[in-house]
Amino acid sequence: MLALRLARGSRPLVQLRRLLVAAAAACTGFLLLYVLAEALVRPAGSFPRLLWALIPLAATVQFAVAVARTDPATRPREGLDAAGLGPVRLTLVATISTAVSCTLGSAVALAAFLHLRGDLAGLPFDGAGARLLHADQPLPVAAALTLLALVPLAASAATAVLLRPHTPLAPQTGLPWGITLTACGLATQAYAGRGGPGMLAGWSLTAVGLALAGPGLAYACGTLVQAVRPGALRLLAGRSLQQQAPRLGPPLGVLCAVAAGALTALALRDRGGLLAPLGPLTGPAAALVALCATATLLTSAVEARQSRGPGREALLGLGAPAKVLRTAASLRATALVAVCLPLSWGVAQLTSMALTR
């Protein structure tokens, strides 16, 4: 009940972020239902299609966790401990809020799927996707509800685990593991070639490796910004970037993996292209992953800006011009782009070579 009251009293921007989580959950739920409908008609290959559908699920879960971290209702405040709302209770509030948003999205996905199949009558476009969604086959209710429950359960569990009170690790800790996993992913793709679960496993290892290496890369960007006799502006930008590396690094690495995948698809377009494991919904699924990765990075940037609030107010109180703070933010963004674009291009080139050997 407390989570619902906090959600109802939030600001419009916070409500918009929750609605975006619900929209992403709805798209993912619709995709899972499509995979189920395909499995009823073509049982062969249904398990690999389900595995490919887990990629949009993972991107949606990452976005939901990022939104939960930036929710003002779940941040510790002075006096809330005395009211019994310590870090553990606030984590529970964030978990419930995430579960409600994702459940709403799953319900919308089920209604839209049944409507396009023609099972729900009386609305525009009733039965418009009957052929694509195999309306001639009865939909197993238990299997459909189980698949739709994956998004709320996974998102709420990830929120509870990642938002629990814990001591953050140093950004450089995951860099060697990230590089190792990325190399293993590239090797797996070279061994498996195009198609099959081997390609999915290789791309997943590459994405996880880049996500683990992201904080270390962001920290290294901050080090480069303040290298060689830095002035006050570069020191401010570099130190801030190093402080934000644990927040910005993982979503930045995932976005690099998505960009590398898009560049690989473009590079292989004239050489037979990549497989379409989800049929006509492969393109929308890829767009959903890209949008979720971008939204996660932007949401993490909002969280980082919120954490810099006291320091920014202190600098403004000391007479620092607001233009200096904006220039420092632009310098941080430029440094990240200057490192991530070549990284994405390099991973895409290695992936293309691995898949066309």
DSSP string over 97-121? HHHHHHHHHHHHHHHHHHHHHTSS-
Handedness of CA 95, 295, 339, 201 (dihedral sign): positive
Burial group, residue 25, by CB count within 10 angstroms (0-12, 13-18, 19+):
buried
Asked whether 328 and 237 are in contact (CB, 8 A), the reply is yes
Asked whether 253 and 217 are in contact (CB, 8 A), the reply is yes
Asked whether 251 and 217 are in contact (CB, 8 A), the reply is no
Asked whether 344 and 260 are in contact (CB, 8 A), the reply is yes
Predicted local distance difference test score (pLDDT) of residue 173 = 83
pLDDT tens across the length of the chain (357 residues):
555 555 555 677 888 899 999 999 999 999 999 999 888 888 877 888 888 899 999 999 999 999 988 877 666 555 555 455 567 777 888 888 899 999 999 999 999 988 888 777 666 666 666 788 877 788 888 999 999 999 999 999 999 888 877 666 777 788 899 999 999 998 888 887 776 677 888 889 999 999 999 999 999 998 988 888 888 888 888 888 888 888 899 999 999 999 998 888 888 876 665 667 888 888 899 999 999 999 999 998 888 887 776 777 777 776 777 787 888 888 889 999 999 999 999 999 988 887 776
Asked whether 180 and 223 are in contact (CB, 8 A), the reply is no
Please state, in angstroms and rounded to a whole number, the distance separating the CA atoms of residues 35 and 129: 14
Please state, in angstroms and rounded to a whole number, the distance separating the CA atoms of residues 161 and 165: 9
Predicted local distance difference test score (pLDDT) of residue 40 = 85
pTM beyond cutoff 0.85: yes
Burial group, residue 32, by CB count within 10 angstroms (0-12, 13-18, 19+):
buried
Give the position of tokens 């009558």.
121
Residue 275, phi-psi category: left (phi > 0), alpha (psi -120 to 50), beta (remainder) = beta
- Paired tokens of 141: 């209710």
Please state, in angstroms and rounded to a whole number, the distance separating the CA atoms of residues 348 and 343: 9
